[in-house]
Amino acid sequence: MPDQDVRLQHLKVWLDEQLAALFAEQGWGAVPPATLTAASSDASFRRYFRWEGEGRSFVVMDAPPPQENCKPFVDIAFLLAKSGINVPKIYAEDLERGFLLLNDLGNKTYLDVIDSENADDLFKDALQALLAFQQLPMVAPLPSYDVALLRRELELFPEWYVKHELGIEFDSAQQMLWQNVTELLIDSALAQPKVLVHRDYMPRNLMLSEPNPGVLDFQDAVYGPVTYDVTCLFKDAFLSWPEERVRGWLEAYWQQAGDLGIPVQPDFEDFLRASDLMGVQRHLKVIGIFARICHRDGKPRYLGDVPRFFAYIDAVIARRPELAELDVLLMSLRAGANA
């Protein structure tokens, strides 16, 4: 029997025990007959299941150690809930085995429902949650988005996309270009004011919920650049928006953040430049991650969204002369891949 099926059997036994205790504690009577169905999976090893029975529903997280660690999710959920952000309530936990029983924030993500007509309203709610997130004092024992982390993320691009997907390696000239680009992007990120950073604040991780949105997948939060999450929100892996509309949303965020005392750059053009360079760092990282998911984990579907990230990068290169070396590097990689 596959390992995942063994885990699922263990999860079901654990879930039955936890639900019996929860129903008794809440005075809900006997646990009713119910269904347990796959709710979602993501680019990691985590899986989610939805339990539904007689009008009640819960979500169960299966996060297998050692690949996954539930403790950051639990700790950060507590931190965010205190600030009024709608995150999953944790009813039961088994950190050693990687099981969590959560309340159900709904079955529709922003990605499922967002379109050009409702985007303004949905993003308005998303920005309110993000602003609450960013006003939290930086007192929790979370990592910082430091040089080492930024560099590790960027190195995913040559290691997995260039080497494994394109099947080539940097020559000495390309390596020099890459080194210069990474230093520019890292310096820009480190120069930014710091706030609590979700690191995957995008429509796929926001649930249509009450209050809106429900926020998921925050377990990798760090303290880092103020532009990171808002850039991630509008330059998403799975859908794109017209640049003028994105600029308008970014300006609305920048004005509100400044009014609330969040340490955004005082000049909007400086904020936009920081957002552009932060986006390029993230896009290069995610291209590498998507290649790794394909070649290491056997999930090729994510590679279909790589062209979207290159389009984001090309748009920034066109308006940021300081990225000329990245332009040269990418053109040389495309030429080499087509040779």
Q: Which domain holds residue 327?
A: 110-338
Q: Is the dihedral of CA 330, 331, 335, 336 positive or negative?
A: negative
Q: Which pair of tokens denotes residue 171? A: 């020559």
Residue indicated by tokens 């039961």: 92
Contacts of residue 118, Cβ cutoff 8 Å, sequence gap at least 6: none
Q: Of 86, 103, 120, which residue constitutes the final position of a domain?
A: 103
Q: Are 310 and 284 in contact (CB under 8 A)?
A: no
Tell me the pairing of strands 194-197 and 90-94. unpaired
**Would you state the pLDDT for residue 5?**
80
Helix pair angle (324-338, 172-191), 10° resolution: 140
Separation of alpha carbons 174 and 91, rounded Å:
52
> Is the same domain home to 188 and 319?
yes
Domain boundary among 73, 103, 133: 103
Q: Which helix (H) or strand (E) segment is 148 a member of?
A: helix 147-156
**What is the count of structural domains for the chain?**
2
Residues 120 and 223 reside in one and the same domain: yes
Task: Tell me the β-bridge partners of 224.
Answer: 195
In this structure, the answer to whether residues 270 and 125 fall within a common structural domain is yes
Verify that 78 and 153 share a domain, yes or no. Answer: no
Q: 245-264 burial by CB neighbour count: b if 16+ within 10 A, else e?
A: ebeebbeebbebbeeeebeb
63 in Cβ contact with 319 (< 8 Å): no
Return per-residue pLDDT of the chain as tens, 339 residues: 345 588 999 999 999 999 999 999 999 999 999 999 998 766 568 899 999 999 999 999 999 988 888 999 999 999 999 889 999 999 999 999 999 999 999 999 999 999 999 999 999 999 999 999 999 999 888 999 999 999 999 999 999 999 999 999 999 999 999 999 999 999 999 999 999 999 999 999 999 999 999 999 999 999 999 999 999 999 998 899 999 999 999 999 999 999 999 999 999 999 999 999 999 999 999 999 999 999 999 999 999 999 999 999 999 999 999 999 999 999 999 987 766
Residues in the chain: 339
93 and 232 fall within a common domain: no
Residue 306, φ and ψ in degrees, nearest 5:
-60, -40
Q: Which of 69, 103, 137 is the last residue of a domain?
A: 103
Statement to judge: residues 197 and 290 lie in one domain: yes
Residues whose CB is less than 8 angstroms from the CB of residue 226 and which lie 6 or more positions away in sequence, other chains included: 134, 192, 193, 194, 195, 257, 262, 263, 264, 265, 274
Is 75 in the same domain as 131? no
Q: Kindly state whether residues 38 and 181 are assigned to the same domain.
A: no
List of residues 6+ apart from 75 with CB closer than 8 A: 140
47 and 167 assigned to the same domain:
no
User: What CATH number has the domain bearing residue 139?
Assistant: 3.90.1200.10
pLDDT (0 to 100) of residue 2: 46
CA 86 to chain centre: 16
* Burial tier of 241 (Cβ tally within 10 Å: 0-12, 13-18, 19+): middle
Region of residue 57 (left: phi > 0; alpha: psi -120 to 50; beta: else): beta
Closest CA relative to residue 19, chosen from 63, 53, 67, 65: 53
Q: How far apart are CA 212 and CA 87, in angstroms?
A: 10
Quick one: how far is CA 61 from the chain centroid? Answer: 17
Residues 137 and 253 in one domain: yes
Residues 89 and 187 in one domain: no
Q: Are residues 124 and 80 in the same domain?
A: no
For residue 289, report the phi and psi dihedrals to the nearest 5 degrees.
Answer: -65, -45
For 270: left if phi > 0, alpha if psi spans -120 to 50, otherwise beta; the answer is alpha
What stretch of H or E contains 296? none
- CATH code for the domain in which residue 75 is found: 3.30.200.20
Q: In whole angstroms, how far apart are CA 291 and each of 54, 162, 295, 317?
A: 43, 9, 6, 22
